[in-house]
Every structure is written in structure tokens, then in C-alpha cells.
Amino acid sequence: MTSISNDFKITIENKEIWNFYNNNKNISIESANLLLIKFIESMFNHLTENLETNVNTQILSFIQENKIEMSQIKTNLSTINENLTKINSDVLQSMNQQLVTLKREYIEDVKQTVTNSMLTTYEKIDSLIDKNTGHLLDKTTLLLNDVIPKNQEQVSRQINENLRLFHQQIAEDTSKLVGSMSKEGSLTEFIASFDNKYNAVLQPLYTFFSASEERITKNIDTLKESSIQSLMSKNKVLDDLGEFLSKYKGSSNKGKFGEQNLSSILNNLYTNAEITNTSGTKASGDFIMKRVDKPTILFENKDYDYNIPKDEIAKFIRDVDTQNMHGIFCSQYSGISFKQNFQIDINKGNVLVYIQHCEYSLDKIRIAVDIIDSLSVKLQDLNMDEDNNTISKEVLDEINTEYQAFILQKEAMVTLVKDFTKKISTHIDDIKLPCLDKYLSHKYAYVKSNCFTCDICSIFVATTKQSLSAHKRGCAKKMKAMENVLTEK
């Protein structure tokens, strides 16, 4: 089966598809395919950040809408069937009424013509009856042209031929009627003959209407059966999709679905590359892409609806270090913690690129690969330049001497600063106004005392805690010695 539209051509070679459309000729191939295309586009081309929710909602909404539409089509077909039957009956009834009216008017005219006492010659009677017959046929032809569809040429030709023969026969009967005016019952015989012949002329029209009604009823029944089959097929599709979506809810199946999408994109973008799925291999990311005269790249794919946590980034860096290759981290529908979109990091000579909200975009993935291809060459050039930069032993000895002198000077400066700080602290501590402190301490509560009294002898007063601590060590020994002397006495 071939469908041609303008310059485009599609050939169907599958027998099952051909049999389906051949058995259901009322279903348009283009309409069915447009419906499928619309379904696929609404499912895959408008994915949002929450892919699972979006796909489920769109598919279920699409199927429910189609179920409603099919139910409406079924209802409309029943309504159309009823309306067509009613219209057919009304048209036939109206046509019969008009034909009966025309026939009755013609017969009345013939009766008046024949019984008119003013007409004295048979020629005038013949002429008037023939004229009335012509008017009847003209009116009948106009009525039938309004009723019979334009595409039913065969029916129109048959009725026109019957009308022509009818006109000839009526002309002959009129001549006979005029010739037998004196006989009784001649007018009655003429009218009966006219009635039978007129009905015979219209018989093909009645047959046409009956056949049309049967065809319409049959076609509508076929459409109803097709709509029921389509509704059953859609229910089956809905059940299958429900089963598929229930599997898709699992994180493992969701990850596999994302990996299949990324694999398809990489294979389409780089047709000469070797792309290996390494999701089942430890410390190897999700994919590794190898190309001729190009750097090997490790891909990590994440299909989360929240920002990628730091642990996943650390795992990605570990995989890159283990494989010692460049890497691309793709977050399809979320951001990446602590990373900017298309951020470029250099880790142990390897280029790492982070893509936020990639959404399986071919352009974004191609840009990331191009970045690695460009920077990896520059990094190789820099590494080669570093290998060529060597230092002679004499220069290295001089550098070592300067470094040792620098260390000595640094230590001397540290010692000098410590001594200076100690002397400054001592001189600052010597600046005291004990009498003023003693006087003000009784007058103002906010004046702090800088004196520390020994709690052993209650006599010594120190200005710092360090001096008090030193005094207490000696004071404790003295107090112990004095206690021993008093005990001996």
C-alpha cells in the first residue's frame, strides 16, 4: 500500500499493517500517523525537570482525552445515524407529497380541459394536454434535481430516460383520449394509465433512496465497530503504559532509561567512536568514549530532581583518577552542588567539565567534548615545556645557600622581636600609680585593681599573676619552715 502526498512517498511493506488498513478502510493512514506523532512529541519533546511526573501526566492525560473523544465519536455516530434516517424519511415524505400534488394538479387540469365546453376542436384539447404534460415533467425534473445528489449521474440518466419515454407514452395516450372523447370511461382509463406510468418513472428514485439508506446504515455500523475496536486498543495501550510507568518509577529503571538516552545521543554524535557502557564496572563512571587521535572521556550521568550532592562529585573525581582520563559530569534535570554550569576543573592533568540541566541536549554535550579536546592539547604542551625546564647543579647550590641564609636571618629576626617584646612588656608593667589606684578603688567601683595579695601570708602584694605565683612558691616553703620551728619549741 502506497500513500503519496505532493513529492513525498511512503511505502508500507509490513503485512500486518497492510491488512489492518485494508480491513478498516474508513481509517485514514495519515490521520492515524499524525495521532501517533502527536503522542510521541508530547511524550518525549517537552520533558520538564521532573521527568517521571511529566511523562506520567502527559501520557495518562493524552489517553484519557482520546478515550473521551472516542466515546464522543461513538455517541455522535449514533446521533448521525438517527438524524440521517430521519432526514431520509423526511425527504422521501416531502418528495412524495410534492409529487402527489403535481400529479393531482395535472389530473385536474386534464379533467378541466376535457370537460371544458369552450373547446370545440380536438386539436386544442390535444395541445393543452400536451402542454400540461410538459409542465408536469419540468416540475418533476426540477424536484428530482434538488433531491438526487450531483454524483449520482447514473440514477439521473435513468430517471431522465424514463421521463422521456413517459412523455412519449402520455402523448400517445392523449391522442387516443382525444380520438375516443365520445366513449364513456375514456378519461378514467387515461388517468389510471397516467398514474401507473408516472409511478413507474419514479420507481428508480424510490429504489435509490432505499439503497442509500441501507448503505448509510451499514457504513455507520462499520464505523461504530471500528470505534469500539479502537477504544479497546487504546484501553490495552493504557494498561501497557501503566505497567511501563510503574516499572519506570524505580530508581534503577529510571537510571537505565537515562543511560539509554545518553548512549543514543553519543552514538549519533560520534559515529566513529567506541562507546562502552561501564555503569556495571567499579570506578568507571557510566560511559567511556574512545576516539582516534582524541582524548578518552569518561561520562557520568545523573537523572535527579534535586541538586547533585557533594558525595557524587567526589565519586566522579575518584573514577576519573582511577581511570586517569578526562571526564564530563552531566546532571540532566538539576544543578550540581558547589559547581557552576560548564565549570572546568583541572585534576592531575585531566580536564573535568560539569553540565547543569543538560536535558539530553546534543549541543551541550558536544560543547563539553569540544572543551576537553581543546584544553587537553594545551595541557600536553604545558607538560612538555615543564619537562624541558632543567636547573644546573651550580645554580641549585647557589639557591640552597641563599635559602639557608634566609632561614638564619628569619630566626635572628624572630629572636630579636621576642627580646624586644619582652623588654617592652617589662617597661610597660613598671608604669604604675599604686597610690592613685588605692585611692580611686574606694571611690569608684569601675576602677580595677592591679594588685594580687598572697593568700598564704596575706602580706605580699604583687602586680602580676606571674610574680604572685613565684612568691607563693617561696612563701609556702617559709611558712612550712616556721611551722616546724614552732612545733620543736
Using pLDDT thresholds of 50, 70 and 90, give the confidence band for residue 182: very low
Q: Which residue has the higher pLDDT, 26 or 254?
A: 26
Using pLDDT thresholds of 50, 70 and 90, give the confidence band for residue 379: confident
Which residue do the cell numbers 487504546 mark? 234
Q: Is 240 exposed, middle or buried (0-12, 13-18, 19+ CB in 10 A)?
A: exposed
- Give the integer Cα–Cα distance in Å for 71 and 437: 103
Can you give the pLDDT at residue 296?
94
Residue pair 290/273 in contact by the 8 Å Cβ criterion: yes
pLDDT surpassing 80 at residue 8? no
Using pLDDT thresholds of 50, 70 and 90, give the confidence band for residue 474: confident
Chain segment 132-153, per-residue pLDDT in tens: 556 555 656 665 565 555 545 5
Can you give the pLDDT at residue 1?
44
Cβ-based neighbours of 381, under 8 Å, separated by 6 or more? none
Can you give the pLDDT at residue 397?
79
- Give the integer Cα–Cα distance in Å for 346 and 334: 23
**Half-sphere exposure in the Cβ direction for 335 (13 Å, CA):** 6
Q: Find the range with the poorest average confidence among 165-179, 350-364, 451-465.
A: 165-179
Three-state DSSP class for residue 5: strand
Rg (CA), the chain: 55
Q: Which residue has the higher pLDDT, 33 or 331?
A: 331
How far does CA 475 lie from the centroid of its chain? 90
Chain segment 397-437, per-residue pLDDT in tens: 788 788 788 888 988 998 899 889 888 888 887 777 777 77
Three-state DSSP class for residue 352: strand
DSSP 19-86: HHHHH-TTS-HHHHHHHHHHHHHHHHSS--SSHHHHHHHHHHHHHHHHHHHHHHHHHHHHHHHHHHHH
Chain segment 51-104, per-residue pLDDT in tens: 445 555 666 666 667 667 666 666 766 676 666 666 666 565 665 666 666 666
Can you give the pLDDT at residue 416?
92
Using pLDDT thresholds of 50, 70 and 90, give the confidence band for residue 120: very low
Please give the domain boundaries of the chain with CATH numbers for all domains: 20-245 (no CATH), 252-388 (3.40.1350), 434-488 (no CATH)
Q: How far apart are the first and last CA of the chain?
A: 137
Highest mean pLDDT among 17-26, 41-50, 266-275: 266-275
